[in-house]
Amino acid sequence: MLTADDAATFERCMAVGGIALFPSDTVYGLACDVDTEDAVERLYALKGRPLGKPSAVMLFSLDLALHILEELPERARSAMEALLPGGVTLLLPNPRRRYPLACGDEPDTLGLRVPALPPPAAALRAMRWPILQTSANLAGQPEARRVSDVDERLRAHVDLILDAGELPGTPSTIVDLRAFAAGGEWSIVRPGVESEAAIAGALAGL
């Protein structure tokens, strides 16, 4: 069970350019400050991920995400409210090209995560810091549902490990909402923990 002190330590780790192994609502992830170039480069090198490949930006509060992304059309914001927090990564238009280190070769698209944290990890809801987040596995390896499932080469080189026990182990569903505001179109880019039927139900009528 994570504590308020754990959440504060996580935030300090991000503030000083560290890399953390942490629990989400789906699988264990790696995180760093989204705007610190050295930290992002180190995280990508550790994971064996090409720098141009986009990663998600994770916020731990829907209200904060809506406040930051104030430029999004009302229909897109309604979709965010319908799907978040939850086990989805939303691909959203990024007209202001926010968070370029996370967006990589796709600066006009923002991948957004707001997790529905389980009780053992709920203390992280106090986190007010946007992070760059990617799954805690080497490129091509399976996702980790437990800290012990994470490759030792990763565990040995992160600056902080937060253990909230066993997670569901299925990654987030990636939902493309880039055309949703204009015509209500959406698609699933990667199946995951949230079903297509559940997403369709949440978006119906918006």
User: Domain coordinates of the chain in residue numbers?
Assistant: 4-203
Contact residues for 119 (Cβ-Cβ < 8 A; gap 6+): 1
The residue-averaged pLDDT of 175-190 equals 96
Percentage of the chain beyond pLDDT 70 is 100
Taking the C-alpha atoms of residue 29 and residue 68, their distance in angstroms, rounded to an integer, is: 23
* pLDDT for the residue 205: 86
Taking the C-alpha atoms of residue 61 and residue 122, their distance in angstroms, rounded to an integer, is: 12
Kindly give the interhelix angle for 74-83 and 196-203, rounded to the nearest 10 degrees.
130
Name the residue type at position 142: P
* pLDDT for the residue 140: 83
* pLDDT for the residue 125: 96
- Give, in degrees to the nearest 5, the angle at Cα 61 between 175 and 69: 65
What is the tens place of the pLDDT at every residue in 82-106? 999 999 999 999 999 999 999 999 9
Which pTM was predicted? 0.96
* DSSP conformation letters of 20-75: EEEE-SSSEEEEEETT-HHHHHHHHHHHT--TTS--EEE-S-HHHHHHHTTTS-HH
CB 203 within 8 A of CB 75: no
CB 91 within 8 A of CB 57: no
115's tokens: 């997790």
4-203: CATH topology: DHBP synthase (3.90.870)
The residue-averaged pLDDT of 165-170 equals 96
- Give yes or no for residue 44 having a pLDDT over 90: yes
* pLDDT for the residue 139: 81
- Give yes or no for residue 4 having a pLDDT over 90: yes
What is the tens place of the pLDDT at every residue in 119-163? 999 999 999 989 999 999 998 899 999 999 999 999 999 999 999
